[in-house]
Amino acid sequence: MTDRKTISAINPATGQIIREIEETQLERIPGIYEDSRAAFKSWSALTVKERLRYFKKLRHLMAEKIDAITEIISSDTGKVRMEAAVADVMPVLDAILHMEKHAEKILGRQKMSTPILFFGKKSYVEYMARGSVLVISPWNYPLQLAMVPMLSALAGGNTVVLKPSEVTPLVGQLVEALFKEAGFPEHVVQVAHGGKEVGAELTKHRPDYIFFTGSVRTGKIIQEIAAKDLIPTTLELGGKDPMIVFSDANIDRAVKGAVWGSFTNSGQVCMSAERLYVQRPIFERFVAKMRDEVRMLSQGSGMNHDIGSMTYPEQITVVREQVLDALEKGAKLVTGEHPDKWDTEKGLFIEPIILTEVTDDMKIVHEESFGPIIPVIPFDTEEEAVELANGTIYGLNASVFSRDIAKAERVVSKLVTGNAVVNDVMVSVVNHGLPFGGAKQSGLGSYHGDGGLRMFCQEKAVMTDSG
Ligand code: ADP
């Protein structure tokens, strides 16, 4: 018998090991897909309405247990409980509600008008479940980024195999338990626990769709494997998201937006502000106000703080290298401590860092940080702002602050990005019906909205003649 591997669930805010979680053995993976395909037969035969009954039960269950759920997320990630509730649990409840209201219509038969040339034939499009969908999820919003794609796939009649991040294994177990307790039929949802070895093995057994959220590096590996069998994929990857603040903006609002956008969830958000471009006439005033605002933030674990700890120790190394590189090349620390003073022994806490005197040769301008750090860079003209914002391999989110809405929307039109916001930072609410996805190396495809449900199904065009 092979040795059973385990993953340690560690609370990053305290360094405490909470429990050991058994990894799924690689030799079990073919059986997982067999079970998934067997369950697909009956799950796909249900109507959307019948499937949604399970969704409603799940929603009620999650609402009832919201306290316990946020506590698990908080101890698995180090984020404060408010962040867990608002940005992890609520989007899932929101998505379920959206599907309960709209999935039947979105996934139902769509009648098309048929030209007279086809003398009376009827035509329509229907959405056919694909089979067994593999969802691979990350650690930054471990509940939302696992459950929303899972539910979108399930609504269309697919079964799901989830590989949650090994960095947040408690939430992986939580997702498994929630679907079970809500009464989803056996094997409709299965969870394989483990790290990249388990994830890689799962991609090699021909799932019918792969939905991946994570790094660009892993996204490319997955796309290469998927290409061999033309397995459809959605890749939700990283970002180096610009925020542009014009002199005519409401400065107080833009400052608060910048602080929240840069430091919420300790900056471990793919849509967080990662580069802040401020028009020169207001630059000094903006930085001073931002510094004052940051100094009022409280950091700690649990309920009564604004920012929690970082989640993943390796991420601290990335942020440290970027800060040291910037300081060496002449950047100035406006807030936060020099990396030599960081003490992450008892918890992965890093004070929010604002950097100025930033130049284009610094890593912080081009590499994703995924940490509580923001470079603030001056610009002069609209054209320059657009050029700077677009000067990246990424294109996930962008925000523009100005009281001149026509100008802000004109700038948005020129930004190469999957998502953009005027006078706010990130708006990704499932219930809006807006699609969410990245341009350039930030991803492939998008989800949420009508397309987010339909993409997990094969679109089938049908023409019928009465004969
Ligand atoms: P991060 O470094 O930010 O955690 P990753 O892309 O490494 O981002 O991880 C995101 C998810 O992808 C995690 O669940 C991880 O276990 C999984 N993963 C990592 N490498 C692979 C791989 N080669 N094949 C499949 N899944 C992988």
**Least reliable range by pLDDT among 1-15, 239-253, 446-460:** 1-15
Q: What is the number of the ligand 1 atom nearest to the C-alpha of 165?
A: 14
**Least reliable range by pLDDT among 103-117, 141-155, 217-231:** 103-117
Check residue 74 and give its pLDDT: 97
Distance from chain centroid for Cα 22: 26
Find the mean pLDDT for residues 259-271.
95
Distance 172 CA to ligand 1 centre (A): 14
In the three-class reduction of DSSP (H, G, I as helix; E, B as strand; rest coil), residue 318 is classed as helix
Residue 2: pLDDT above 60? no
368 Cβ closer than 6 Å to some ligand 1 atom: no
What share of the chain has pLDDT > 90, as a percent? 92
CA nearest ligand 1 atom 4, residue: 138
Check residue 310 and give its pLDDT: 95
Residue 374: pLDDT above 70? yes
Residue 1: pLDDT above 60? no
Check residue 253 and give its pLDDT: 97
Q: Are 15 and 346 in contact (CB under 8 A)?
A: yes
Find the mean pLDDT for residues 343-370.
96
Q: Are 416 and 443 in contact (CB under 8 A)?
A: no
Q: E-strand spans in 262-366?
A: 273-279, 332-335, 353-356
Residue whose C-alpha is closest to residue 396's, from 223, 140, 139, 213: 213
Q: Which residues contact 181 (CB under 8 A, 6 or more apart)?
A: 61
What confidence category does residue 114 fall into, taking pLDDT thresholds of 50, 70 and 90?
confident
pLDDT tens profile 333-349: 999 999 999 999 889 99
Complex ipTM value? 0.98
Check residue 214 and give its pLDDT: 97
215 Cβ closer than 6 Å to some ligand 1 atom: yes
Check residue 449 and give its pLDDT: 86
Tell me the best of 5, 196, 317 to mutate to test the pocket of ligand 1, counting ligand atoms within 8 Å of each CB and taking the most: 196
Q: Are 276 and 375 in contact (CB under 8 A)?
A: yes
CA nearest ligand 1 atom 23, residue: 200
> Mean pLDDT highest for which of 30-44, 117-131, 414-428?
30-44
Verdict on whether the full-model pTM lies above 0.95: yes
pLDDT tens profile 412-459: 999 999 999 999 998 766 666 789 999 999 999 999 989 999 999 999
pLDDT tens profile 288-346: 999 999 999 999 987 789 999 999 999 999 999 999 999 999 999 999 999 999 999 88
Q: Which residues contact 5 (CB under 8 A, 6 or more apart)?
A: 22, 23, 194
Q: What is the number of the ligand 1 atom nearest to the C-alpha of 140?
A: 3
pLDDT tens profile 166-207: 999 999 999 999 999 999 999 999 999 999 999 999 999 999
Check residue 93 and give its pLDDT: 96
